[in-house]
Amino acid sequence: MIELLIFILPIITAGIGIYQKTILDEGSAISFIDYENKHGEKARKLKSPRLYLQLFAYIISPLYISFGWAWMTLGLILLIARTLILLFSDEKTVTPNLCSSDFDKFVLKRRKQAMISSVIMILWIASWAVEYS
């Protein structure tokens, strides 16, 4: 039962992010910019537990799959990077103007992030399929 939860958790959390960045692309980008302008970069990064739940599943995956060491390494690298960014960021972020071409580039960047997340989720599913097939 725990294995199923560890398997499903990153799929659900990444799926939410992929949905927001592709289907709700402009609306999600506007709310992302508004929240960051209102509360700051650190508050935005700490607001959602999605990434931390996903990293938790990656970190404990060696308990359930043999290829989990690679996922644990990825999870630890991302967690350390996120921690360093939170500790040493200066809160000076430049968010694009909603009426500029920078906004379109920002939306395109978020779509590319969703594509990378999709590839990672396919690899996650494949690593579990190999283990339990």
Give the pLDDT score at 69.
94
Are 120 and 30 in contact by the 8 Å Cβ rule? The answer is no
Give the pLDDT score at 112.
95
pLDDT at 71 over 70: yes
What is the enclosing helix (H) or strand (E) of 74? helix 68-88
Q: Which domain holds residue 108?
A: 2-132
Give the pLDDT score at 4.
92
Question: Model confidence over 78-124: pLDDT tens digits?
Answer: 999 989 988 887 766 666 777 778 888 888 999 999 999 999 999 99
**Structural domain count of the chain:** 1
- Rounded to 10 degrees, what is the CA torsion of 122, 14, 51, 37? 130
- Which residue bears the tokens 């960051």? 36
pLDDT at 41 over 80: no
- Work out the mean pLDDT of the chain and round it to a whole number: 88
